[in-house]
Amino acid sequence: MALNLTPTTTFVQAGVGDQKTTAYVAGVTWDLPWQYQFSVGRLGAYVEADFGRWHTDGRRGEETSFPTQISAVPSVRFYPGYSPWFVEIGAGPSYIVPLFNTGQKRFSTEFNFDDHFGIGRDFGHIEVMLRAEHFSNAGISRSNPGQNFGQVRIAYRF
């Protein structure tokens, strides 16, 4: 049997973070063949690949930075009961280039980790989710200030 590499959803998301940083992201997801139905709800998993741009002003507004983010994040999603609402968590590798630098905060590595927690609602072909997302190098190098975002995602399921 051939492996199907057709994405199951496409999405856009935008958000704001600390240090007056904004993020704009687009990507695709692939549902994994890992689904469990429990008496209290349904648990499933997917993998996302995304590409994003961040924007932040540097010291005293003198510099502007536009880092590019590329991530691959496996996630687990839980639907309680037969509800269209869900919660999810995920974590995976992320490459952010050039080094993120706000003037007050500077990443020490281009390789980082992207983890998130989200709550959302499935409307059929459309999903809307609020996400808390964190990027850091997980302590593999100093400094490791991390960057947090609050984001809104809109996804279209094929």
Separation CA 10–CA 16 (nearest Å): 21
Q: Which residue has the higher pLDDT, 63 or 110?
A: 110
Q: What is the pLDDT of residue 65?
A: 77
User: Quick check: 61 pLDDT over 60?
Assistant: no
* DSSP string for 68-133: EEEEEEEEEEEEETT-SEEEEEEEEEEEEES--B-SS-B-S-SEEEEEEEEEEEE-SSEEEEEEEE
Work out the pLDDT band at 100, boundaries 50, 70, 90. Answer: confident
Q: What is the pLDDT of residue 1?
A: 54
Model confidence over 15-50: pLDDT tens digits? 999 878 999 999 999 999 889 999 999 999 999 999
Q: What is the pLDDT of residue 92?
A: 98
The pTM of this model reads: 0.91
Measured CA angle at 12 (ends 96, 63), to 5 deg: 40
Work out the pLDDT band at 3, boundaries 50, 70, 90. Answer: low
Model confidence over 74-88: pLDDT tens digits? 999 999 999 999 999
